[in-house]
Amino acid sequence: MVSKKEKICVLEVANHFGTGGIERVMQDFALALDKNKFRVIIGVYRLEGSRIADFKKKGINVIKLSEACLLEVIKKEKIDIIHLHSFTGNFGRPQAGEAKILREVIFSGNYSKEADINLVISKSLLKKLHEKEKLIYGENYYILYNPQNVRYWRAYKIPHNKISKLRARLGVKEDQLLIGRLGRSEPSKSDFLFVKSIPLILKKLENVKFVFIGLPYLQRLLLYRHKSVRNKVIFLPNQPKDESAAKFYQIIDIFWHAASRGETFGNVNAEAMIFKKPVITHSTPFNNRNWKSTDNAQIEVVDHMRTGIIASYPKDIFEAVKFLQNNPKKAKEFGDSGYKKVLGRYNTPKVASSFQDIILKLHSRANTEVYPDKKEVEAFIEGGYENLLKQCLDEESYIGKKRYSLEKILYQTIEVAYLGLRLFLRRTINYDLEKRGYKKGYYSVLE
């Protein structure tokens, strides 16, 4: 066993211990690193959130950071690697004369010029960054997917009879197709596609219901304008506990993802795949003009007609739901394939092993290959992403696409006004519009 002094000390840094994807990634890396080789310390700028108890149980040291004390923490704890999961805080290079204090700075997620190494969390994000930042594989970046703790999530698996009871409590019959969405009540994590597609689906398909967690209040208001929607769509507030989220994934038949901003990775899609659910998502392509405004990794995580369906317009969403409803065997195949993909590419032990290899390579300057390899990454940049863009359902007519685009522009104008009102109410009378519109009887169904 390596002695304490010989262990590589890694400081994992995030804003807080909340339930978001960034905090989950930090937790998975911190807990998964081999403690015989690494000494892990958690640094956060706000000591708040539900995950703090998990670290204390595992005996991992937790430190409250500030811009003033970060360098002192590095000195005192003899930090070798600082691994950041957000831009918060001043983690800049040590001043002259102190350059040896900090061995390496690693940034996970997007890209920072100040970091020694960037761990880009999807090949799609790398494709977007590649032309702007001139990245060099193995020198200033690696691909490192967001880890998905399959073993952790599957521990929340519940029997079929309990699933039936939970569905019944929501008014969902055994034979009804239940389509679900989970995400924060924010415009970037939702999309106008929900508002336009649901009435169309309910008008043309029978025996379908929807359950949405955290849909923005503006979209809920617009959906409630349709009488056909009121008894067919269940709105649930945000579920802060992982156990509740796991129950949600298990009671649904199809997971539906749509985020106007797209995803740099998209944890929710992978989580649904862990529970063997077929995923419907949309494409949010970026180009040289709007490369900062959107991401599109969801079409990398979800393989069209293998683990789910890529559909970007209301008619295409309808066709995707219709296909899965009429082809339950194919839906099951998609779910099984999604589970196998997460196991093979995104499972925490595999990703953590790659992370350890990267750290060891930095620390010892060893010339080792990490996963995914350079050939796979280069092939994606050179043509793989463009091929993914072509693989999507495309039944909507040209006129239908134009009409939808114009309606979306109008909606986005209304959304700006709504967000202004929401911010005003929060700051003046501490009132949150997003808490409106939920039926009290539904609050505790998944608890």
- Render pLDDT for 82-133 as a digit per residue (tens, 0 to 9): 888 865 544 544 443 344 444 567 777 777 777 778 889 999 998 888 777 7
**In CATH terms, are 8-146+348-384 and 151-345 the same topology?**
yes
CATH of segment(s) 8-146+348-384: 3.40.50.2000
The string of DSSP letters for 251-311 reads H-SEEE---TT--SS-HHHHHHHHTT--EEE------SSSTTT---THHHHSPBTTTEEEB
The rounded distance, in Å, linking the Cα atoms of 41 and 382 is: 39
Instruction: Determine the pLDDT at residue 19.
Output: 67
DSSP secondary structure letter of residue 68: T
Answer yes or no: pTM beyond 0.75: yes
Residues in the chain: 447
More confident residue, 89 or 149: 149
Q: What is the mean pLDDT of residues 188-215?
A: 95
Name the helix (H) or strand (E) containing 325. helix 314-326
Is the confidence at residue 212, as pLDDT, over 80? yes
Q: What is the pLDDT of residues 30-69, one digit of tens each?
A: 889 998 999 999 888 877 766 777 777 777 888 888 766 7
190 Cβ contact list (under 8 Å, min separation 6): 183, 215, 216, 219, 258, 259, 260
Domain 151-345: CATH superfamily, name plus number: Glycogen Phosphorylase B; (3.40.50.2000)
Q: What is the pLDDT of residues 267-324, one digit of tens each?
A: 999 999 999 999 999 999 987 666 567 899 999 999 999 999 999 999 999 999 999 9
Domain spans in the chain, listed from the N-terminal domain onward: 8-146+348-384, 151-345
Distance of CA 242 to the CA centre of its chain: 14
Crossing angle for the helix pair 267-274 and 242-251, to the nearest 10 degrees: 60
